[in-house]
Amino acid sequence: MKIIAINGSPRRDGNSVRLLEKWVEGFKYLHPDAEVDVINLYDYAYTGCRSCFACKRKGGKFYGTCPIRDGLHDLIPVVQHADAVAIAAPIYFGSINAYTKAFLERLLFSVTTYREGHESVAPKNIPFTMIYSMNAPKVWAEAHGYEQQWNEIEWYISNAFRMPVHRVVLYFTYQFKHYEDYEMEMFSEEEKRKYRDVHFPEDLNKAFYAGIDVAERFDTKKHNDK
């Protein structure tokens, strides 16, 4: 069994990665022998979809696949054949960051057809987990329609890989070790720190149990008992 944990953040030791690690820990709690591939997207050089439509050409060599030969060329098939995938995406300007968005364009569009209902030609049904982390407090995110954007992203993922998408959200993140070194007049370091101390352990716990929830889908005995 192979699971893939994708870090869409440029930081290798930030909030996104810690939540991603907890998701992996939760999955491996039930399946300790699962093979884990950790992917840092910022290690790869690539673009978003180039609208070549080679993946849609009837009888074409690249039907249902992405032909672009860049950093994602070999990665996309690996992800499309995984047993479970988690993606940690930081929120920039109200949406997932550009690097993660570009990756999803390439991953999803190649297997999403223009048939009725956007029928998928993905080779496997795969449960995904989306982990979002952001500087914005929850009330801001709710007021500015962040959830609607997540719903739309997750719909395309769920449609492409024919499985429900789990969601973990981290709000009002503690971003710096030394707030006094940055222009941060909009935010109180003390308020941020207090929020982190109370809520970050809860968020890590949510990521852990999201991993368990996905792992339970592969528990054959439990599934049969139901």
pLDDT value at residue 184: 86
Q: What is the pLDDT of residue 178?
A: 85
Query: How sure is the predictor about 220, in pLDDT bands with cuts at 50, 70 and 90?
Result: low
pLDDT reported for residue 226: 35
The 3-state secondary structure of 145-178, one letter per residue? CHHHHHHHHHHHHHHHHCCCEEEEEECCCCCCCC
Condensed to tens digits (0 to 9), the pLDDT of residues 5-37 reads 999 999 999 999 999 999 999 999 999 999 999
Residue 1 CA, distance from chain mean position: 19
CA nearest neighbour of 55 among 107, 116, 3, 101: 107
d(CA 214, CA 181): 41
* pTM score, whole prediction: 0.94
Q: CA distances (Å), 105 to each of 49, 101, 128, 174, in order?
A: 6, 6, 15, 29
pLDDT digit string, tens, across residues 62-115:
999 999 999 999 999 999 999 999 999 999 999 999 999 999 999 999 999 999
